[in-house]
Amino acid sequence: MTTKRRKGPILGLTLLFLFTWQVISQAQGKADPKTQIVFLGTGTPLPDPERAGPSTAIVVNATPYIVDTGTGLVRRAAAARDKGVVALRPVNLKIAFLTHLHSDHTLGLPDLMITPWIMGRKEPLELYGPAGTKNMVNHILEAYEVDRKIRTEGLEHSNNTGWKVNVHEIKPGVVFKDANVTVIAFAVRHGNVDAYGYRFATPDRTIVISGDTSPTDAIVENCNGCDILISEAYTKASFDLVSPEWQRYRLAFHTSAQELGAMAYKAKPGLLILYHQGTGPGCDQAGTEECREAGSENQLLKEVRKAYSGKVVAGQDLDVF
Ligand SMILES: [Zn+2]
Ligand SMILES: [Zn+2]
């Protein structure tokens, strides 16, 4: 009898709580976009002090998904945390996708495997990448075997799980899906390299990230009016300064500003963001003032805007979109 009488007020209070919670959640949802893009590195192999190696975080409902692991990414993630993107605290870096295995996109992989673990990450890293990723990870684990032994058996008392990596070697198609995001990998044209671009569909945004590629319809088809297209490009001005060998390389491996303009015209993104910025292959190695000017961000924006009338910006490290 007593139990029965109590049910009414308890049920009422529960409903009131659920209603209030829903109103607060909806209000918060309006104030903060669910999805944020945070550039952890917008560079290339060029050791530019202003640009870490290529790495982009897509943060959805406080869960970060990392695309590429260029050098410096964990420190840039800590800098983003300090700027207010708290989801990018090191122990929270648990899921990553590699576009391809070129060193500029993977030099930070040992950092992502190890540093968050030292800081207390208990979960293994979930890593998605092309064939060869497993082999690379096994070699990194082997290279740091001494460190792992010291830290797990010594006075550091590091946990014995967070250093592990679950590698998922991918093929084109849906490679990942959870409550926040569906990730599609699509093959791109990066010379003879097994390389992918990724399409992230979140509750409020569609984002396509090119990785390294020469022009391909796959970018156009996967964007197809996406909210944001993140793409690489080099300038014609720098192309004209490099040797025929470097020109041949660029044509097979990368996208010119003009080619990107033509792709963006067909892909129709809400916003085009340029990343993977250096002076360009050949110019990076020459390091002359003339090449620096010819491959600069200003020159790149100028050339892309000449070829494409939509909204375009150049991404900087720690920019949030
Ligand atoms: Zn690259
Ligand atoms: Zn590459």
Average pLDDT value for the chain: 92
* CB-based neighbours (< 5 A) of ligand 2, an ion: 102, 212
The CA distances from residue 38 to 74, 81, 104, 318, in Å, are 13, 10, 18, 6
Asked if pLDDT for residue 118 goes beyond 80, the answer is yes
Q: Distance from the CA of 50 to the center of ligand 1, in angstroms?
A: 16
Pair 137, 107: CB distance under 8 Å? no
Proximal ligand: closest to the CA of 232 = 1
Proximal ligand: closest to the CA of 105 = 1
Pair 312, 300: CB distance under 8 Å? no
298 half-sphere exposure, CB direction, 13 A CA radius: 4
Asked if pLDDT for residue 133 goes beyond 50, the answer is yes
Proximal ligand: closest to the CA of 276 = 1
Asked if pLDDT for residue 268 goes beyond 50, the answer is yes
Find tokens 């495997």 and name the residue: 113
Strand partners, 96: 66, 127
Strand partners, 165: 125
Q: Distance from the CA of 190 to the center of ligand 2, in angstroms?
A: 7
Q: Distance from the CA of 195 to the center of ligand 2, in angstroms?
A: 8
Q: Distance from the CA of 73 to the center of ligand 1, in angstroms?
A: 15
Query: Which two three-digit tokens encode residue 269?
Result: 């993104």
Q: Distance from the CA of 39 to the center of ligand 1, in angstroms?
A: 15
Interval 48-71: pLDDT, tens:
999 999 999 999 999 999 999 999
Q: Distance from the CA of 45 to the center of ligand 2, in angstroms?
A: 9
Q: How confident is the model at residue 261 (pLDDT cuts 50, 70, 90)?
A: very high
Answering whether pTM is above 0.95, one says no
Assign 181 to helix, strand or coil.
Answer: coil
Assign 57 to helix, strand or coil.
Answer: strand
Q: Distance from the CA of 212 to the center of ligand 2, in angstroms?
A: 5
Find tokens 């491996």 and name the residue: 253
- CA-based nearest residue to 306, from 271, 245, 257, 269: 257
Asked if pLDDT for residue 6 goes beyond 80, the answer is no
Q: Distance from the CA of 236 to the center of ligand 2, in angstroms?
A: 19
Q: Distance from the CA of 36 to the center of ligand 1, in angstroms?
A: 23
Give every CB contact of residue 195 below 8 A, 6+ residues apart in sequence: 99, 100, 130, 187, 188, 189, 211, 212, 213
DSSP letter for 318, please. Answer: T
Query: Which two three-digit tokens encode residue 284?
Result: 């990076």
Q: Distance from the CA of 100 to the center of ligand 1, in angstroms?
A: 9
Query: Which of 44-52's residues contact partners 24+ apart within 8 Å by CB, and which partners?
Result: 44/104, 44/276, 44/277, 44/278, 44/284, 45/103, 45/104, 45/278, 45/284, 46/278, 46/279, 46/284, 48/278, 50/316, 50/317, 51/277, 51/278, 51/316, 51/317, 52/76, 52/108, 52/317
Proximal ligand: closest to the CA of 213 = 2
- CA-based nearest residue to 46, from 318, 321, 314, 297: 297
Query: Which two three-digit tokens encode residue 50?
Result: 């202003």
Q: What is the CA radius of gyration of the chain?
A: 22
229 half-sphere exposure, CB direction, 13 A CA radius: 27
Proximal ligand: closest to the CA of 189 = 2
pLDDT at residue 21 in the model: 47
Q: Distance from the CA of 68 to the center of ligand 1, in angstroms?
A: 10
Q: Distance from the CA of 239 to the center of ligand 2, in angstroms?
A: 17
Pair 180, 63: CB distance under 8 Å? yes
* CB-based neighbours (< 5 A) of ligand 1, an ion: 104, 212
Interval 274-301: pLDDT, tens:
999 999 999 999 999 999 999 999 999 9
Q: How far is CA 80 from the centre of its chain?
A: 14
Q: How confident is the model at residue 4 (pLDDT cuts 50, 70, 90)?
A: very low
Give every CB contact of residue 101 below 8 A, 6+ residues apart in sequence: 129, 130, 132, 133, 136, 193, 194
Q: Distance from the CA of 187 to the center of ligand 1, in angstroms?
A: 15
Interval 180-233: pLDDT, tens:
999 999 999 999 999 999 999 999 999 999 999 999 999 999 999 999 999 999
Q: Distance from the CA of 22 to the center of ligand 2, in angstroms?
A: 45
Proximal ligand: closest to the CA of 68 = 1
Q: Distance from the CA of 29 to the center of ligand 2, in angstroms?
A: 37
Proximal ligand: closest to the CA of 53 = 1
Q: How confident is the model at residue 135 (pLDDT cuts 50, 70, 90)?
A: very high
